[in-house]
Every structure is written in structure tokens, then in C-alpha cells.
Amino acid sequence: MNLSAIITALGGRSALQQLLDVGPSAISNYMTRGHLPNRVKPIIYAALTAKGYRVSADDLEILAAPSKLPTSDMATNLGPRILLIISGGIAAYRALETARQLQKRGARVTGVMTESAKQFITPLSLAALTGEKCYDHLFSLTDEAEMGHIQLARSADLVLVVPATANFIARANAGIADDLATTILLATRAKVVMAPAMNPAMWAHPATKNNFATLTQRGVHMVGPERGDTACGEEGEGRMCEPSYIADVAMKMVGAISNNHLSGNIDGKKKQAGPLIGKRVIITSGPTIEPIDKVRFIANRSSGKQGHAIATALASRGASVTLVSGPVNEAPPGHVNLVPVTTAAEMLSACTNAIAGKPTDIAICAAAVSDWRVTSVESKKLKKPRDSNAKLLLELRQNPDILSNLSNNKNRPKLVIGFAAETENLFENATAKRYHKGCDWMIANQVGGDDDPVFGSTTNKVLLITELGVETWPKMLKTELAEKLADRIEAEFYK
């Protein structure tokens, strides 16, 4: 290890002091002794790699200097580098605010704009805001000489697309690389996050849904869209999430990536690549559907949004997630083991199979399991009697309770979490459910309200009931709730 080279690479002694939060004498000691304490090695490793150096994880030897990276005043900060791709939609103006929010959180932002994005905002406004050149041409000779698109793609810790228009999502899905932005998407090895924004009809189109689902399956992390007033003036699902929220998600994803930087054998121990790595999780999501006859069924309004968002949040923190889901329109989250089911009986057997093999750490029952099934399902379509006054009596039997089953199973996961959907007496009913079902935490939400039905909505407002008491969580996006729950779970396992 050459400590002088490291100090130079990190911008001098005072930069190193600041990075390690130590005084000048500590640096002198390291210089005299010629080696570094184990505690500081991962920090230096992460800082050097964030600056683009190739570094040996064993002895912090600098193997290669960064090829020309974009530089700015902020480059002396050791924050993550985020490549912000702006595609051409009316929401493009909100990308500027996203850049600002990212910088507030310590990120270095390099802007890339598509041709159509320039119809909405100028490269100059983004460059002025980020303090860095904004890239917009695939074949600009100067840029190619200074930094090829491959290098631009590789210099990023995260690629963030804000807004991701329907057209951009389609081009990304098809692997088209006909401009700088889409070429970067193909060339990057970094995590990709997209914040879709479009007109509700475009969002609802099966082509868009298909493209979205495929990209998600390939590991692209989607933030939103949400329901509300869209930038084009229509109300519905398709609105881009708030820039501050997008920035939060991006920084969280970069956190996971930074941990990945540390995943080598740095100080004798193998470092973990995500806070929940090694944790096995089972999540139920969506409705169950119970057949009545060949064509009819009993169902409910669950969309699967909340359960799927939780699966995404935990998987992005490194957990190994099995998602047992009833039929939903949600795209399957990336990096989870999806087990599609239809009935409650199928859901139960998928869950018990999942916990039978290996010890499971966490079970989260977010599914709206149908409580009833008909005693005997007709094998053909039930014909309606000619007498219009005739009644049909269906005999129903109770379905097994999956949450109770997991809570009382001999292979019980360490932490079992249920959701209580209540139309009245929220706290009392949910507390009673927690007790009767034997789970550790119960998340209670009021459902069926006229102004916020919860089912199908992108937001949720809940109480978290644990053995310690009750917490009231404010109304938030279901994706935010998923992240908050993931924070709580992390805290529970590392307290």
C-alpha cells in the first residue's frame, strides 16, 4: 500500500482527515507506521472506487487511475455519482428539482438529456445547477475524445431516468441504442432507477404495461408513477413521484451499491453486500380468488401494490424474498422468487412449503385472503333458473388462516407481520387480531373510506402495533411505507 498515493488520490491530507473524521496526528501516525487500521480501510476503499480508481481490495494498492471523469467543484466531495438521464416529457422540468434534491443529499450529478428533453429544458440550465457538463450527443467528437459513452456509463454509481416517458421505457425495453441516453442504459453495469411519468391513458396501455413489467423483471427499479394531476393536465395514474422521494430512493439504492463496493475481503472478513443479505423472507400479496363454478368466482379488491412494494424494498436490501401472490396487475418485482397462486389453499401450501425447507427469518402477510370458499365448486357453469324469483344459496366454508398458520408453525419465522384491514374500530380490532393470530407486528389500515379506499390506491395510512405499543404512521405512498417497514425490520434484526 502506498499511503502517499492514496492521500494524493483523495485530494490531500485534510481531505483524508475529513473522510476518516480524525486529526492531523492520526494521519502522521499512519504515515510513520506505513499501515492503516482495519477500521478505516473499507472507508478509503469506497472513497477511491467512488472517485473512479481501480483499487486492490486486499492491500488498497491503486491499480489504475480513473480515466477522465467529469470534474466540478463538487468532485472533491466523496458522494456517489449519479447519471441523471432526462427524457422528453412535460415532467422534464421536475428533473431539475430532482437534481437539486440529489445534490442536497450529497450526490454528484451528471446530466444526460435526450433530444426531446431539450424541448422542455435546456442543457445549460441543468449544467448550471449541477456544476457539470450536461451530455446530450452520442457522436460529439469532443465528448468521445474526452470520455466515451461507455466510460460515462461506467463512471456512474447509479443511472436515474427522470422522467421516464412511455417512449423512453419502450426504447429501453427494446434495447434500442440510438442516442446517448439509451446507449448508456445498455452499456452501464450500475443499478438503473426510472421514474415514469406520462398521460394516464398511455400508462394504462398494455404496450406500456408490458414494457414496464419486462424492465422490472430485468432489475430496473421503478419509482411510481402515482395517481394524481399529471403534468399534461389529466387526473389519473401516471403522475411522476415527488422529486424528493425519487432522490431518497436513488440514494438508498446507491447505499446498497456502496455496500457492494465493500463486498471484497478487505479486513479479513467477508463484508455483506446489503443490510438484509442472508435473510429469508416470505411475503403474501394480492387477493385470493375462490371459484364458484367454471366461470364465476369470489374475489376482493386487493391490488397487490403494498405486498409487491414490500417485496421490492426488502429484495433491494439484499434479502432473499419469496413472493406468494394471488392474481394482480402489478409487475413482478425484480430479484424475487415469485410464486403465483389463485386460491387460499394454494397460497397456504406455497407458504408452508417455503418455510419447510430452510429457516425463514421474516413472514409478511399482506395478501387479502378470501375468508370463504364454496363448499363444492360446480364443474360447469351454473345455469340460472327460469323463475326470476328463485334464490341461489351458496354454502361457504372458511378458508385456512395463513397468518395464524405461519405464526403457530413449528418452522415459525422469527418475525411474523400481519396486516389488518378494518372498516371500523381500527386499533381495537387490529390489536385483537394480532393477539388471536399470534403474529409479532400488526399493521392496521382503515379500508373502504369514500375518499381513500386503500385498495388499488398508491397511498396508505397505517398504525404499527407491536409488543411495545402503537405507532401512527402518516399517509404515505405504499412504496414509502414499504421502505419505512424495511427500515423497521432492519432495526429489529440489528438492534
Q: Name the residues that contact ligand CTP, by CB under 6 A.
A: 284, 344, 365, 367-369, 371, 399, 401-403, 418-421, 433
* Cβ 332 vs Cβ 338: under 8 Å: yes
d(CA 159, CA 188): 8
**Closer CB to ligand CTP, 294 or 397, in the complex:** 397
Degrees (nearest 5) of the Cα angle 297, 301, 306? 130
* Cβ 367 vs Cβ 284: under 8 Å: yes
Closest separation in Å from C-beta 418 to ligand CTP: 3
**Closer CB to ligand CTP, 331 or 344, in the complex:** 344
Active-site residue among 232, 241, 351, 365? 232
Closest separation in Å from C-beta 224 to ligand CTP: 25
Closest separation in Å from C-beta 475 to ligand CTP: 19
Closest separation in Å from C-beta 304 to ligand CTP: 12
Degrees (nearest 5) of the Cα angle 132, 63, 35? 105
d(CA 417, CA 4): 52
d(CA 468, CA 281): 23
**Closer CB to ligand CTP, 399 or 446, in the complex:** 399
**Closer CB to ligand CTP, 86 or 367, in the complex:** 367
Residues 367-396 as b or e (16 or more Cβ within 10 Å = b): bbbbeebbeeeeeeeeeeeeeeeeeeeeee
**Closer CB to ligand CTP, 24 or 448, in the complex:** 448
Neighbours of 318 (CB within 10 A): 19
**Closer CB to ligand CTP, 111 or 418, in the complex:** 418
d(CA 389, CA 164): 55
Closest separation in Å from C-beta 342 to ligand CTP: 14
The pairing of beta strand 415-422 with beta strand 441-446? parallel
Which residues touch 121 (CB under 8 Å, ≥6 apart)?
86, 92, 93, 95, 96, 113
Closest separation in Å from C-beta 402 to ligand CTP: 3
Which residues touch 316 (CB under 8 Å, ≥6 apart)?
221, 252, 253, 256, 274, 335
**Closer CB to ligand CTP, 171 or 437, in the complex:** 437
283, with CB counted inside 10 A (0-12, 13-18, 19+), is buried
Cα separations (Å) of 87 from 95, 115, 123, 165, 462? 9, 8, 12, 6, 35
**Closer CB to ligand CTP, 264 or 400, in the complex:** 400
Closest separation in Å from C-beta 367 to ligand CTP: 5
Beta strands in 96-198 (DSSP E): 108-113, 158-164, 191-196
Which residues touch 206 (CB under 8 Å, ≥6 apart)?
none
Closest separation in Å from C-beta 339 to ligand CTP: 15
* Cβ 437 vs Cβ 411: under 8 Å: no
Beta strands in 326-365 (DSSP E): 337-340, 362-365
Q: Does residue 232 have an active-site annotation?
A: yes
Tell me the catalytic residues: 232
